[in-house]
Amino acid sequence: MESLTTPNSNGGSSIQLNSGYLMPLVGLGTYKLSGDQQLVDSAIYAALQCGYRLFDTAKLYSNERELGNAFEKLLPELGLRREDIFICTKFWALPAESASVEVPKLVEESLVNLKTSYLDLVLIHYPKPGPPQAENNSDAEGNSASRRECWKALERIPKDKVRSIGVSNYEVRHLEEMGHYASVVPSVNQVEFHPHFRRTDIRAYCDKQGVFFQSFASFGRQNSELLNDPAVVEIVAKHNTTPQNVLLSFATSQGVGVVPKSTNPQRIRANFDCLQLKLSAGDIQKLNTIPERGHYIRNTPWLVL
């Protein structure tokens, strides 16, 4: 996918989605940023102040209302408008028979909670109904129908309410299947991605189809085998930086989006510095040739029929 990459007003970079809208390359993941409005405000303030403009949430995170409160308070304080930020949320796929009614309700709920008149991006969080641990991986007919009806319901949402739509944790076969029912090509596929789990097949398919490849879990849940991988350590020393910034730059230097999560203002600022680190072709090659160890997140969408 040859997506347009352009600098934004805060020195970051944005890519142009197939919907025509610009999305920042680096965003703040908000998983576990909940339960304390003061904590949420502190994290969002730090993020906005240092240049983050993409904020990634989900129904699963149970923080849409707190984020909405934070945006309502902090955007004016910092001289920003709603149009200056990009909000993405996600919802679990629903049973096919309820999707046409429930998907619009979920969207309306997010609009109210996030105190906004529109959402920049809405993703189907997983390629089957319910959480990843639910015992329905092998229900090929039910899962396929769920994906189809949820997507068609998203397509029907007015564009002035949801600007772009996409998916998360979709494998190539799930994306290929969409060719039989989708009128709109997904703008984004968000998946786990790092040097130990490079998802080469999905990246290639997304590039070919014009679907932006966005990553989560760039640090592999802070797994020591990833952070202390000899190739990572070597590049850290070469650039006098941190393992986290090397792992984020591994993605951004290849045009892959990232949404690192943190509740710590200092770490939030440090993660945004990945945009200042440009790995060389040799650095990328070194990281692309180390043995893959597999996933560190419990999600196993490749098992979903």
Residue 134: pLDDT band (50, 70, 90) is: confident
- Whether 298 has a pLDDT exceeding 70, the answer reads yes
Domains in the chain: ranges and CATH:
9-303 (3.20.20.100)
- Whether 136 has a pLDDT exceeding 90, the answer reads no
- Whether 8 has a pLDDT exceeding 70, the answer reads no
Give the integer Cα–Cα distance in Å for 254 and 193.
12
- Whether 51 has a pLDDT exceeding 70, the answer reads yes
Each residue's pLDDT tens digit, 52-111: 999 999 999 999 999 999 999 999 999 999 999 999 999 999 999 999 999 999 999 999
User: What's the confidence (pLDDT) of residue 1?
Assistant: 40
Give the integer Cα–Cα distance in Å for 240 and 291.
24
What is the chain's mean pLDDT, rounded? Answer: 95
Each residue's pLDDT tens digit, 155-172: 999 999 999 999 999 999
Tokens 């092998």 found at: 138
User: What's the confidence (pLDDT) of residue 131?
Assistant: 76
- The tokens describing 49, both together, are 């102040």
Active site positions, annotated:
61
Q: E strands along the chain, which residues?
A: 5-7, 13-16, 22-24, 27-29, 54-56, 86-93, 119-129, 162-168, 188-192, 212-216, 257-258
Give the integer Cα–Cα distance in Å for 23 and 16.
6
Arithmetic mean of pLDDT, 9-38: 92
Arithmetic mean of pLDDT, 244-262: 98
Do the annotations mark residue 239 as ligand-binding?
A: no
- Whether 275 has a pLDDT exceeding 70, the answer reads yes
